[in-house]
């Protein structure tokens, strides 16, 4: 979950209603408003419940990691689902995951692990996607050093990567090992978080594990054949009402935004919804180059995000996702 500095920082102002931007959404009726005191107290209670759930779950997941079986793969999805419910985040899924639980023997016999490729708007994406997919995240290395969040990421068996070219071979080796063990992987190839208004161009280097170059094949173990499943993610409801262009800034965590202030503001809203489109999987063998594969994946993710932001009926989106 890396981020870049925007050319202009958002213009903020103090409001009694939690907000991140001067144009941020406020429900139009008094019945939908929460007083400042109540909203802050509500968030603190939520946060306390999440902390206790996280501490207990961490102990349980640590035990599962030491044991054989698929428990350590399945439990993170349960963990994120509960966190999402506590946080008031509902998740709508259109389409079906292409991946399933695989053993190393399954992979050796030719069954393909899946690399899920999604757009990236916020730390909230981890809750949204983690609640739906049984897969491990790829994250920037510094996340592993963050208090509590780093611990949760490690117990979720996250694969940490750096921007250092000298570490590329080692990181590809780690991802290759996970794929051969039967794990599915989640990638955010924008390389940063966006403002939620558009999907940023994908970096083709993120697809090296799916379509390695000759040099990479010479220096690292050969990864198993995989499938790429594009995933479009948009936050489309807040307090039960549709989210417009300006309101998306509430969800976006990008540029120089601090994590704590963003969590504090977003957590004071009672309910929100994320919608995921799981597009048909792509076979990397059908593309001549890594760039072609990256572009085809980008096109699917970007168009799905546009459709969600436009509020197309679910039946239309389902047709595109199948």
Which whole-number Å values give the CA distances from 302 to 6, 45, 308, in the listed order? 20, 37, 10
Residue 29 has pLDDT above 50, yes or no: no
Least confident range of 88-92, 108-112, 263-267, 317-321: 317-321
Cβ pair 290, 213 in contact under 8 A: yes
Which whole-number Å values give the CA distances from 247 to 54, 189, 264, 288, in the listed order? 29, 24, 16, 40
Q: With bands split at pLDDT 50, 70 and 90, how would you rate the model's confidence at 1?
A: very low
Question: Could you give the CA distance from residue 289 to residue 291 in angstroms, rounded to a whole number?
Answer: 5
More confident call, 49 vs 167:
49
3-state secondary structure 172-227: HHHHHHHHHCCCCEEECCCCCCCCCCCCCCCCHHHHCCCCCCHHHHHHCCCCCCCE
* Predicted confidence (pLDDT) per residue in 267-302, tens digit: 889 999 999 999 999 999 999 999 999 999 999 999
Question: Which residues does 154 contact at the CB level (< 8 Å), separation at least 6?
Answer: 144
Question: Which residues does 200 contact at the CB level (< 8 Å), separation at least 6?
Answer: 119, 190, 191, 192, 194
Distance of CA 126 to the CA centre of its chain: 4
Structure confidence at residue 258 (pLDDT) = 87
Structure confidence at residue 34 (pLDDT) = 44
Q: Which two tokens stand for residue 225?
A: 């054949």
Closest residue by Cα to residue 204 from 320, 104, 293: 293
Strands 272-278 vs 185-187: parallel, antiparallel or unpaired: unpaired
- For the domain made up of 34-321, the CATH class stated in words is alpha beta
109: phi then psi, degrees, rounded to nearest 5? -85, 0
Residue found by looking up tokens 């403002």 in the block: 195
Structure confidence at residue 18 (pLDDT) = 44
CB crowding 286-303: b at 16 or more within 10 Å, else e: ebeebeebbebbbebbbb
For Cα atoms 262, 186, 242, give the angle at the middle one, nearest 5 degrees.
45
Residue 112 has pLDDT above 70, yes or no: yes
Residue 13 has pLDDT above 90, yes or no: no
Structure confidence at residue 321 (pLDDT) = 59
DSSP state letter for 88: T
Question: Could you give the CA distance from residue 247 to residue 14 in angstroms, rounded to a whole number?
Answer: 16
* Predicted confidence (pLDDT) per residue in 50-77, tens digit: 999 999 999 999 999 999 989 999 999 9
Cβ pair 247, 287 in contact under 8 A: no
Residue 21 has pLDDT above 50, yes or no: no
Q: With bands split at pLDDT 50, 70 and 90, how would you rate the model's confidence at 176?
A: very high
Closest residue by Cα to residue 151 from 200, 247, 207, 79: 79
Residue found by looking up tokens 């940063």 in the block: 192
E-only strand ranges, 36-135: 89-94, 114-118
Cβ pair 29, 257 in contact under 8 A: no
């Amino acid at each position: 979950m890396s981020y870049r500095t925007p050319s202009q920082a958002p213009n903020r102002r103090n409001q009694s209603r939690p907000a991140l931007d001067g144009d941020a959404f406020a429900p139009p009726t008094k019945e939908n408003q929460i007083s400042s005191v109540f909203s802050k107290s509500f968030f603190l209670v939520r946060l306390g419940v999440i902390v206790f759930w996280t501490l207990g779950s961490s102990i349980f997941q640590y035990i599962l990691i030491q044991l054989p079986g698929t428990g350590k793969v399945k439990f993170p999805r349960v963990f994120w689902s509960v966190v999402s419910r506590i946080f008031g985040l509902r998740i709508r899924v259109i389409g079906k995951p292409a991946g399933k639980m695989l053993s190393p023997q399954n992979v050796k016999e030719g069954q393909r692990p899946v690399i899920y490729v999604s757009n990236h708007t916020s730390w909230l994406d981890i809750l949204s996607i983690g609640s739906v997919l049984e897969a491990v995240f790829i994250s920037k290395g510094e996340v592993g050093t963050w208090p509590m969040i780093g611990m949760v990421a490690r117990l979720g068996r996250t694969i940490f990567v750096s921007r250092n070219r000298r570490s590329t071979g080692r990181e590809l080796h780690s991802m290759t090992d996970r794929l051969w063990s039967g794990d599915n992987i989640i990638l955010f190839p924008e390389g940063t978080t966006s403002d939620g208004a558009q999907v940023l161009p994908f970096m083709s280097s993120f697809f090296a594990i799916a379509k390695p170059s000759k040099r990479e094949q010479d220096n690292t173990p050969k990864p198993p054949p995989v499938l790429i499943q594009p995933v479009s993610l948009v936050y489309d409801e807040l307090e039960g009402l549709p989210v417009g262009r300006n309101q998306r800034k509430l969800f976006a965590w990008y540029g120089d935004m601090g994590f704590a202030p963003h969590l504090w503001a977003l957590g004071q809203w009672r309910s929100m919804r994320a919608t995921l489109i799981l597009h048909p999987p792509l076979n990397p063998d059908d593309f001549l180059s890594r760039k072609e594969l990256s572009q085809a994946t980008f096109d699917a993710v970007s168009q799905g995000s546009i459709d969600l932001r436009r509020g197309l009926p679910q039946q239309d989106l389902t047709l595109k996702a199948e």
